[in-house]
Amino acid sequence: MRIVWMEAGKGLRSPIIIGLFMLFTAFNLFLMLSERHMKDELRVLNTIVAQTGHDMNGEGYEALGEYYTNELAKMNSITQEKIGQTYESAAAFTSSNPQLLDPDRPFTEPEVRFVQDLLVTERYYESLPAIRSQYDSLDMRTRAEVALSIMIDPTSDRVDKLVYANYNKLQDRLEVLREKGEHLHLFFQGTVYKMHSFLYDKLLGIMLLQAMVMGVLMTAQIMNHEFDHRTHLLMYATRRGRRLKVDKLGAAFLTTTLMTIMLLSVNIVAFFEMYDYSGLWDVPIGTGFLQEYDDAPLIPWWSMTFVQYLFAVLALGLVLQWIFAGLTAGIALFVRNSYFVCLLFLLLLGIGLTLFTVVPTTSLLIFWAYINPFQVLFSTPNWFMIKHVFTTYPSYEWMTVSLWSAVLAAGLWVAYRRFKRRDLV
Amino acid sequence: MLAIRNVSKYYGTFCALKDIDLELSHGVYGLLAPNGAGKTTLIKLLVTLLFPTKGEILYNGKNILGLDEHYREQLGYLPQQFGYYKNYSPNQYLMYIAALKGIGKAEAKTRIGELLRLVALEEVAHKKMKAFSGGMIQRVGIAQAMLNDPKILILDEPTAGLDPKERVRFRNLLSELARERIVILSTHIVSDVESIAGEIIMIKDSRILYQETVEQLCQTLEGRVYETLMDYEAADDFRRRVLSLSEKQEQGRLRIRFMADGETDESWQSVRPQLEDVFLHVYRDEEAVTPG
């Protein structure tokens, strides 16, 4: 283990890695700050949840209605007093009084803020019937038909059959979701704030990409450090010999894990410090509020709370980083130059992302073209959920990482055996 | 004892070493040959960086490849191109190598202190090596080779970069070390091994030409090495008839040391052959001969 830590130090102490880590963290914090204007509105939901809970099935919805009615009454007492009028809704009031903060208007700043908060409450309250009705009429087979019909390249019956079979499974899951009422839980309204894609695409997606860049650089550096510095003749002739590569592989996984955890934890802690999710940790991720575009509900394959989903995403993200480190290490067992190792990894990335473009959509191979870690990496906001027609099936993520891990482990073993018998000149 | 049995090494169709048979026990062995003769290949075979195409290398009767780390833990090796990490201090660098050699932290600390004292680098033990001279780097290399108190010490061109004073100091150090171990010193600089090697191994045309003591090697030229003083004008013609071994100016004339077979002359003075004469004689057709 002493050698593993020493090898890990070569990666972690690298000025490039330290510089990148700081640069990436600064960039991520900047991204987070760029959406900070939503913070106040997001806070309103926590206030509502504190009053009514987030479950809007039955009693929760009634409580929200009662809360909203009371708040509306408060607003009307203010408007009655100040301008001698009452309104049916906060929206009706603000649309007829667009200049609320105008110095000539009689409303104080706290009153205006109260009305703005009520507007947000109203929007949540009024969205619930629409979500209920949308989910009641949802049919996954129709979704599959639409998805297949808008494809540029035609599919074959065999492909369609498999797509329909997968969407039928999603229909089963939808029915369970409806039955449990998972869709009727309050969460930041996706169509307005797009917090799901902000967190899982803009931030986590980019962070995992950043972790991949640093992981690949560190792994290449650790694996080929001796060849890069021409110390290989000395180091591989020591007692440890070529087994040093096993230590290096361990160090590559260790540094990748440490760096990924550090990058994710620093940024995620900062994110949740900035945006208050305190009342929403146990909201089911299948809530209808998650959808960010009209009629594009995000149906998860499993019943998970927000926090469970977050940890599942983080865990999958870490496993992906191990796969990328393993791939880099595998290349480095054949190629001695770190720069070429990184270039070859980039080539693999390119192949992984574009493979589906050369596979005919009439062949079942099109499903396999998506089974690679690079495709998984670039679909973070839809992990464990409905996504592309060829990747919408419950085992997509875990099957991809399991298969690649197994093949990679076998490949690494073969590459190491070959390295052990290779002349080092 | 280290025994090389019928070892050949090919790179594709190119033969680097052919049918090498050697037996090495305690003492200093000078592996003497011009650059490119196969010295480094032989050394890399001995340190398991290369695998023989044919034959085997035995340590105390067992194949070194089978012994694996049990063999390498007996090894101290200084490669010809001795890489180092610029941003490491000798202390950090040696601690890292100590870990690779399986030496415990506490033991390594003591040993590193001793060795840095031995190679006179104690003062700079914590300074980054990027500011070191070639000679200082080479001394760090020698220290790392000695870290595990090896039974077999293999040094490939170890005096490269050392100044004359350091070379003498290094030779003395090696003589001391060689008492209880096998020391293989590969060089193309004759003076590095002449005074300290118990036996000289010479490689030519990918094969072992000699494994003899310095005296035995010199005897092969007994009665064939002469010196004479002549005018410069006569030198060209003379060189065509004999093998010139060395030349120097003396009182406006040329003193030439040479080897001649058969013919003799009264003005020629027979001299005692030296290892350098043997080297120049053996590799007379080779390039890159660098007697020092």
Using the predicted structure, report yes or no on whether residue A99 has a pLDDT greater than 80.
no
Instruction: Tell me the average pLDDT of chain B.
Output: 88
Using the predicted structure, report yes or no on whether residue A156 has a pLDDT greater than 50.
yes
Using the predicted structure, report yes or no on whether residue A104 has a pLDDT greater than 80.
no
pLDDT given for residue B82 in this prediction: 77
pLDDT tier for residue B291 given thresholds of 50, 70 and 90? very low
Instruction: Tell me the average pLDDT of chain A.
Output: 93
Q: Å from A225 to nearest chain B CA? A: 10
Q: Å from B129 to nearest chain A CA? A: 13
Backbone phi and psi for residue A202, each to the nearest 5 degrees, phi listed first = -60, -45
Interface test with A, best of B49, B156, B157 (most A CBs within 10 A): B49
Using a CB–CB cutoff of 8 Å, tell me whether B51 touches chain A.
Answer: yes
Predicted structure pTM score: 0.88
Q: Show the tokens assigned to A397.
A: 């993520």
ipTM: 0.88
Listed by start position, the domains of chain A span 2-36+143-420, 55-137
Q: Show the tokens assigned to A11.
A: 């990666």
Average the pLDDT over each of A122-131, A320-329, B81-90, B172-181 and give the range with the smallest value: B172-181
How large is the average pLDDT for residues B173-197? 83
Instruction: List chain A residues with CB under 8 Å of B100.
Output: 3, 235, 238-240, 244
List the single residue in A237, A239, A244 with the smallest CB-CB distance to B49.
Answer: A237
What are the residues facing B199 on neighbouring strands? B29
Q: Show the tokens assigned to A329.
A: 């290490």
pLDDT tier for residue B48 given thresholds of 50, 70 and 90? very high
pLDDT in tens, A374-399: 999 999 999 999 999 999 999 999 99
pLDDT in tens, A36-71: 888 878 888 999 999 899 999 988 999 999 999 999
pLDDT tier for residue B290 given thresholds of 50, 70 and 90? very low
pLDDT given for residue B75 in this prediction: 94
Contact at CB, A241 and B72, closer than 8 angstroms: yes
Contact at CB, B51 and A425, closer than 8 angstroms: no
List the single residue in B73, B79, B100 with the smallest CB-CB distance to A244.
Answer: B100
Contact at CB, B82 and A236, closer than 8 angstroms: no
> For residues B7 and B63, is the Cβ–Cβ distance under 8 A?
no
Long-range CB pairs of B164-170 (<8 Å, 24+ gap) are B166/B135, B166/B138, B166/B139, B167/B192, B170/B142
Using the predicted structure, report yes or no on whether residue A1 has a pLDDT greater than 60.
yes
List the single residue in B68, B72, B81 with the smallest CB-CB distance to A237.
Answer: B72
pLDDT given for residue B289 in this prediction: 38
pLDDT given for residue A195 in this prediction: 92
For A15, other C-beta atoms within 10 Å of its C-beta total 8
Backbone phi and psi for residue A57, each to the nearest 5 degrees, phi listed first = -85, 120
How large is the average pLDDT for residues B94-100? 95
Contact at CB, B75 and A237, closer than 8 angstroms: yes
pLDDT given for residue B205 in this prediction: 86
Q: How many CB pairs under 8 A join A and B?
A: 73
pLDDT given for residue A174 in this prediction: 95
Interface test with B, best of A239, A246, A420 (most B CBs within 10 A): A239
Contact at CB, B69 and A243, closer than 8 angstroms: yes
**HSE of A55, CA atoms in CB hemisphere, 13 A:** 8
Instruction: List chain A residues with CB under 8 Å of B84.
Output: 229, 231
Using a CB–CB cutoff of 8 Å, tell me whether B81 touches chain A.
Answer: yes
How large is the average pLDDT for residues A196-214? 95
pLDDT given for residue A58 in this prediction: 84
Using the predicted structure, report yes or no on whether residue B286 has a pLDDT greater than 60.
no
For A230, which residue in chain B has the nearest alpha carbon?
A: B83
How large is the average pLDDT for residues B8-16? 92
List the single residue in B72, B83, B96 with the smallest CB-CB distance to A230.
Answer: B83
